[in-house]
Amino acid sequence: MANKSKQRKKWVPVLLAVGLVADLLVLGFIVYLLRDRIFGSTETTAPAPTAQAQIELWDAYEQAREAVLAQAQDAQLVSASTQWQAVSEQTLVDGVANWSFVFYSPANEHSLDVVVNTEKTQVVKQTQVWVAPSPLVSGAWQAGPREPLLVFLAYGGRTFLTEHPQATVDLHLASSTGDNDGEGAVWSVVVLDPQDHSLSLVVIDAETRQVLSN
pLDDT at position 213: 86
Q: Give residue-wise pLDDT tens across range 132-186.
A: 999 999 899 999 999 999 999 999 999 999 999 999 999 999 998 644 444 589 9
Q: Which residues of the chain have pLDDT under 70?
A: 1-52, 177-183
Beta strand pairing status for 110-116 and 121-128? Answer: antiparallel
Predicted pLDDT of residue 35? 42
Please provide the DSSP assignment of 40-92 as one string: -----SSSPPPPPPP--HHHHHHHHHHHHHTT-TT-EEEEEEEEEES--HHHH
- pLDDT for the residue numbered 67: 96
Q: What is the pLDDT of residue 51?
A: 56
CA-CA distance, 113 to 18, in Å (whole number)?
15
